Amino acid sequence: MNISMDKAIGAASVRLSKKITRLINLFLKPYNITTEQWGVLRTLFEMDDIAQKELSIRSDKDQATLTKILDILEKNGFVGRTSNPIDRRSFLIRITEKGRNLVEEVSPHLETYYGDIVKEINSEKIDIFQEVMLSLEDRIDFLLEESTRKKEM
């Protein structure tokens, strides 16, 4: 039986992503945070006090989505915004002590959770999976850049 690439790669990766998101959202629910918010908060934990545009790139969120996420994170006291001294039209985003404490509390439990997800898969297969995912991501980035260049011509 020949399976199409659309089904083997496209549908399979979307299905896996949705299942992981559902599972992690269940885990994060008691912390009053979603996977989307978690990704932004974790990014800020790793690189704090950055411009919103840079955070958008690093967290792979479009500006509108990121603004909504930041509004929620700020309302919950996990992040703060300050004026950017270099560009008054933009803000610098900073993780608060409350946000930092949340990341430090949740991260080890999340690592254990992901460990449970891959428990039955040997490390060689995990390494191959990561290698393939990075290769696909690099190729997609290339195709997106190429597409953008063609549109600009």
Largest CA distance in the chain: 60
* Tens of each residue's pLDDT in the chain, 153 residues: 678 888 888 899 999 999 999 999 999 999 999 999 999 999 999 997 899 989 999 999 999 999 999 999 999 999 999 988 888 788 899 999 999 999 999 999 999 999 999 999 999 999 999 999 999 999 999 999 998 888 887
CA–CA separation, 23 vs 18, rounded Å? 9
CA–CA separation, 124 vs 67, rounded Å? 39
CA 10 to chain centre: 19
